[in-house]
Amino acid sequence: MVIGPGSAGIVAHVILADGELIPENFNNVKVVVYRRGESTGRELMIIKPLGELADPELLKKPDPPVCTYSGDGNPLHEHADKTWWHYDASWNFENGPFATFEAAYTALEAYCTELQRTKEESEKESLTKAEETDRMVVDEFLKQFPVAPADGSGN
């Protein structure tokens, strides 16, 4: 499939090879779809003109989702190919594949342990740095700076 930008009211030009189908997101009245291959004598042939939707037999059915996560809050889940995965702490990335639930669970447990260890080290390092930078000021040093009374009298 080749996709080119359009102009003058056309959003895109899509060129399909023999056997390729139109993805559903390109089935739009502002998209023109062509076919080029042995079936068209290597010539460009319009199979979906501007202003029309494609015939259902030209549309590619969407692929079934690979990830079957149900949103139940458990980071462990099985994909359609029967492999096991677990999400990271941000829930943005999956770790895997693992052949069994037990392997995925062990990997998740190790991931959580390492995450907790890293967090504790970071907090400890943060506290250590604060102790090194905080200093007590000697009272004699402060006595040289007079402080106005809280009642505002200036005395």
pLDDT of residue 135: 59
> What is the DSSP annotation of 102-125?
HHHHHHHHHHHHHHHHHHHHHHHH
pLDDT of residue 134: 55
Q: How confident is the model at residue 125 (pLDDT cuts 50, 70, 90)?
A: confident
CA separation for the pair 5, 14 (Å, rounded): 9
Which H or E run contains 141? helix 139-143
142: left (phi > 0), else alpha (psi -120 to 50), else beta?
alpha
Mean pLDDT of 123-137: 64
Q: How confident is the model at residue 155 (pLDDT cuts 50, 70, 90)?
A: low
Q: List, for residues 32-82, the tens digit of each pLDDT value.
A: 999 999 999 999 999 899 899 988 888 888 778 788 788 888 999 999 899
| Among 82, 79, 86, residue whose Cα is nearest residue 105 | 86
Whose structure tokens read 């494609």? Answer: 54
Q: List, for residues 12-43, the tens digit of each pLDDT value.
A: 888 989 988 888 888 889 999 999 999 999 99
88 close to 107: Cβ distance less than 8 angstroms: no
pLDDT of residue 76: 93
Which H or E run contains 15? strand 12-16
Q: List, for residues 97-112, the tens digit of each pLDDT value.
A: 999 999 999 999 999 9
- When comparing pLDDT for 4 and 33, which is higher? 33
